[in-house]
Structure 1
Amino acid sequence: MESDMVIHNGGCHCRRVRWRVQAPSSVVAWNCNCSDCSMRGNTHFIVPSEKFELLGDSKEFLTTYTFGTHTAKHTFCKFCGITSFYIPRSNPDGVAVTFRCVEPGTLTHVEIQYYDGRNWESSYNQTGIASCSQGTD
């Protein structure tokens, strides 16, 4: 899916956590059924970490939850509880951005793909998700 690279701005509900990310205007977002994503209703697209920037003092308003392999770093706002981004197990060198937390106007298309997180290893090998954090520059 090719589209122009743009700057997307976004963050949490209370706006204490703010970020910007460089990504295509048309993205593939992953709808995962692992226990964490299912409970949070998270659907995210993945970018290389160097394309993501926390703004201002956002870091002081974040807390992190890990479980299982502790590879994924599930960040969320200490005040409103929203996970607007996190470090995914599938791409620990990248950032998973919750597409619904992107401010309106820059995402022109979101293609939702299914990720079977309950059968994580087989889905990881079959979907090609591991390449999502690799830059296309």
Structure 2
Amino acid sequence: MAGERTIRKGQCHCGAVRFEAELVDDLNTIRRCTCSYCRMRGAVVVSAVTGGVRVLEGAEVLTSYRFNTRTAEHFFCSRCGIYTHHQRRSDPLQYGVNVACLEGLSPFDFEAVPVVDGVRHPNDTGQPARQAGILRFIPTDETANQ
């Protein structure tokens, strides 16, 4: 059902950072972004509700990175380097969560992932967010059997 909130558990690669994320509309908010930082890290994210990321273990090993307007804050494990979540620039009260960190999920589980135009960010242009395309995952013989 649309608008349904779901709590999912997640962790970084080494397991030092463990968290819970209360998602806005479960996995229906999945997307990627074309901004310079997201483009380089290649993460697929879903939206968490306001204050919807709760670090259960490893807060002391989380580190963060801010750039450009310094509004968005990107969190990652200082041990294994995995990006876990970020505070959004478009809505600093909301978080994006790395799908690859959520239990039982892989970004390759999704056939198509919308790509938003982060290069022309709504906070810079004054225009609504734009979709920049769709990332399509085409299973190969190798991935189809996993």
Matches within 5 A, 1:1-80: 2=2, 4-23=4-23, 24-56=25-57, 58-80=58-80
Change (3 A) 1:35 1:8: same
Q: Which ranges in structure 2 are unaligned for 5 or more consecutive residues?
A: 131-146
Change (3 A) 1:123 1:48: farther
Matched AA of 2:8: H
Greater relative contact order, per chain length (Cα 8 Å cut-off, separation 6+): 1
Identity of aligned residues (%): 31
Q: TM-score, normalised by structure 2?
A: 0.74
Q: TM-score, normalised by structure 1?
A: 0.78
SS of 2:28's equivalent in the other structure is strand
1:134 matched residue in structure 2: none
Aligned 8 A contact 1:48 1:95 in 2? yes
Q: Could you report, residue by residue, the CA deviation over 1:50-106 in whole angstroms, capped at 9, with x for unpaired residues?
A: 3221103x210111111100001011110111101111211210111011211017x
Deviates more, 1:19-28 or 1:91-100: 19-28
Q: Which runs of 4+ in 1 moved over 3 A?
A: 122-125
Matched AA of 1:19: F
- Are residues 1:94 and 2:94 paired? yes
**RMSD (CA atoms):** 2.6
Q: How many residues align?
A: 125
User: In the aligned structure 2, how far is the partner of 1:102 from the partner of 1:119?
Assistant: 28
Q: Which ranges in structure 1 are unaligned for 5 or more consecutive residues?
A: 129-137
Aligned 8 A contact 1:87 1:94 in 2? yes
- Are residues 1:125 and 2:124 paired? no
SS of 2:60's equivalent in the other structure is helix
| Largest Rg, 1 or 2 | 2
Following TM superposition, by how much is the alpha carbon of 1:112 offset from its aligned partner in structure 2, in angstroms?
2.4
2:140 matched residue in structure 1: none
User: In the aligned structure 2, how far is the partner of 1:33 from the partner of 1:92?
Assistant: 19
